Amino acid sequence: MKCPDSIRALDRDDPLAHTIDQFELPAQTQYLDGNSLGPLPRASRQRLAEVTEQQWGQDLITSWNKHDWINLPRKVGDRIAKLIGAAPGQVVCCDSTSVNLFKVLSTALQVQAPHGRHRIISQQDNFPTDLYMVEGLNSLLGNNRCELVSVHADQLISSLDDSVAVLMLTQVNFRTGHCHDIRTLTEAAHQAGALVIWDLAHSAGAMPLSLDEWQVDFAVGCGYKYLNGGPGAPAFVYAATRHHGVSSQPLTGWMGHAKPFEFSPSYTAAPSIDQYLCGTPSVLAMSALDAALDVFDGVSLDVLRAKSLALSDLFINTLRAADCWQEFTLLTPMEHTRRGSQVALAHPQGYAITQALIADQCVIDFRAPDVIRFGFTPLYLRYEDVWLAAQKLIRIVDTQTYLQPEYSRAKAGPVT
C-alpha cells in the first residue's frame, strides 16, 4: 500500500518526530496498543544494563546510597508529578495501581468517617479492579463504613449527597475512550463535601493534566501504558499536600515509617508523601521506568495532545470514508474534549477482526464483549502508521478475512 504524500508530509512536519527513534519497535509493524503496554525505550534497555552490571553486579548493597536507590520512589514520583500537574513532594512511585488505590481509599474513608460519610460513588463501567478494591474494603469494614454505589456516568453529580465520602473515577474509560472533565467533577464533589480519587491509568503521559490547579485530592496511575515503564512497571500515587499527615493509610510497611532505619517496634507514619510507601521498592523495575521518562524531557504535553487527537482524527476519518464503516459502531466521542488517546469500535466479530489485524502486523487489542481498541501514542506513532492500520482494517473487513477459523480461537492474555 502506497501512503499518500499528504500523510508523509504530516510526518515530515511532526514536532515529535525526534522521539520516535528513542523506542525499539519491530519493523513493518503498526503498534497501536500503547494504551495497554508501551514499547521498550532504548534508554530503559541501557539503564537496566547499567543497573545490573555495575550497580548490582559490582557495587552490590552500597548502591542503596552510592546510586541513590533508596530515593528512587520519590525521584521517579517527582518526574511523574511534572506530567500530571503536581508540585514536587506529592507523588511517589510504588506498588501497583490497585494497591495504591486501596491506600488512598482507606485514607479518604478515615478522613470522612467523623462526618458520617461512608459511600463511594463510582461509574458502572469503571475499570473492574477499581470496583473490586472497594468491594474488598467493604468486606473488611462493612456497609456502615464503606459502601459502593455504582451509577451511570450521567448520574454521577446527581448522586452526590451528604452520605458520600468519595467520588472515585477513571478519567479515560478503558473500553470507550470517553474522557471525563476532571475539573468540573472535582468541583461538584467538593461542593457536596466529598473527596475525589482519580485513576489516571489511561491519561498520564497522554494528555495535559493539572491536578494541583483542579484541587484533586488523590490520584493513582500505572507506569506501563503511556509512561512506557515496562510490563508490570511500578505505579504511582498522588496525594495533595493538604492531606499529608491527616490520616494514615493501613499498609504500614517499613518504608512508609517516619524513620525507617531506626527500626522502631512501633509504627509512626512519615508526615510526607512517603507515608504511601510500603515495602522495599523494586529497583530494577523503577530504574527502567525512570529511564523511560527521559523521552518526555523537553516535550510539550500540549503538542503531544494535539498530535494524539490528530492521529485519532486521521484514523476515524479514513474509516468513515470506507464502505465498511457502516459495520462498526464508534464508541469514542468525536468531540476532542471528551476523547482520550484511543479509539474504540464495536463489531459483532470484534475478537476475530482483532486477531486478523495482529496477524497482519497491526497490534491492537480487544475488550469483551465486542470492542476493538486502537491506542494512539504520539511519542512513537507516525501518521503513516495510523493510515496503514486503517487500510489493513478496511481490507480485512471488506474481504471478510476475519472469518478464517484461526482468528476465532481464544487466546490467553490481554490481547484477547
**How much of the chain, in percent, has pLDDT values that exceed 70?**
99
Would the pLDDT of 28 be above 50? yes
Residues 155 and 258 both lie in one domain = yes
Domain holding 259, by residue range, is 50-296
Residues 35-43, mean pLDDT to the nearest whole number: 98
Q: Catalytic: 374? A: no
Q: Catalytic: 267? A: no
Q: Catalytic: 161? A: no
Residues 73 and 214 both lie in one domain = yes
Residues 184 and 107 both lie in one domain = yes
Scan for cell 520519590, then name that residue. 74
In the set 14, 199, 290, 385, the catalytic residue is 199
Give residue 85's region: left, alpha or beta (phi > 0; psi -120 to 50).
left
Residues 135 and 85 both lie in one domain = yes
Band of residue 412 on the pLDDT scale cut at 50, 70, 90: low
Q: Of the given ranges (1-10, 51-60, 133-142, 283-292), which has the lowest mean pLDDT?
A: 1-10
**How much of the chain, in percent, has pLDDT values that exceed 90?**
96
In the set 74, 79, 339, 373, the catalytic residue is 373
- Domain end, chosen from 296, 325, 360, is at 296
Q: Could you tell me if 232 and 99 are in contact, meaning their C-beta atoms sit under 8 angstroms apart?
A: no
Would the pLDDT of 370 be above 90? yes
Q: Is residue 321 part of a domain?
A: yes
Residues 240-269, mean pLDDT to the nearest whole number: 95
Residues 340 and 194 both lie in one domain = no
Q: Could you tell me if 364 and 376 are in contact, meaning their C-beta atoms sit under 8 angstroms apart?
A: no
Distances (CA, A) of 404 to 245, 331, 352, 365, 366: 59, 26, 8, 18, 18
Q: Is residue 10 part of a domain?
A: yes
In the set 102, 127, 226, 236, the catalytic residue is 127
pLDDT digits 0-9 by tens, 205-218 = 999 999 999 999 99
Residues 249 and 333 both lie in one domain = no
> Considering the entire predicted model, what is its pTM?
0.96
Residues 324 and 307 both lie in one domain = yes
Residues 8-30, mean pLDDT to the nearest whole number: 97
Cα gap 347→182, rounded to integer Å = 30
- Domain end, chosen from 296, 319, 345, is at 296
Cell of 148: 459502593
Q: Catalytic: 339? A: no
Least Cα distance to 197 among 139, 253, 239, 257 occurs for 239
Q: Catalytic: 373? A: yes
Would the pLDDT of 416 be above 50? no
Distances (CA, A) of 32 to 62, 184, 219, 382: 41, 30, 26, 11
Residues 310 and 240 both lie in one domain = no
Residues 292 and 311 both lie in one domain = no
Query: Domain with 125 in it: what CATH number?
Result: 3.40.640.10
Residues 168 and 143 both lie in one domain = yes
